[in-house]
Amino acid sequence: MDIAQALAGSIWIGAVTLAFAKEALGRGEGWWGLMNSSYAAGTMLGGILALALAKRIQKHLIASMTMGSLLFSLLTVVYGLNNLPWLALVLCILMGPVNQIRDVAQQTALQNSVPVESLTKVYTTHGVLISTVMSVSIVIFGLVADQLGVRWVYLIGGALFIVSAICSLSLSRIHRNHPITKHTKNM
């Protein structure tokens, strides 16, 4: 799930979003800044929303991951097909809360499923894996943007977020048989 998201996550690097602003939306660097600001605002709103929904997210970790991935996928595909600059801003704002809720649920599920004494190793390994996947993905999506056009980057990214959602659905089946239990250590 995280690998699919890391592959797709590289579509939001500055060079690709700037190319999208210029090629797909017919706007310049100023608009690119507005898009980045809109996403940041959406992320802040998403953090506040995730805080307000914390108990509900905790009770429904897998569902939150699945819905977050599906909605983020849908928003990404619509974004990639869009040619209206104002709609791009709205979509960027909407992506923030969806991404925050999904990420909070994923982080919580990971923390709850790993013994406390193993968290450092797990997070370190996870970080190296995600950084490696994103590095490769940046090169691949750069080639896709050059060869097929920047819209294809977002369409492929949207498909990868669907893969992430499918992975979380399979987690749901596993979770029914082996619930995520919180690993804590008394100190």
Residue-wise pLDDT for 135-172, tens only, equals 999 999 999 999 999 999 999 999 999 998 888 888 76
What is the reported pTM? 0.87
Q: Is the pLDDT of residue 61 over 60?
A: yes
Average pLDDT over the chain, rounded to an integer: 89
Distance, CA of 60 to CA of 65 (rounded, Å): 9
Average pLDDT, stretch 26-52?
94
Start-end of H helices in the chain = 2-9, 14-23, 29-52, 54-59, 61-81, 85-113, 119-148, 150-177
Q: Is the pLDDT of residue 187 over 50?
A: no
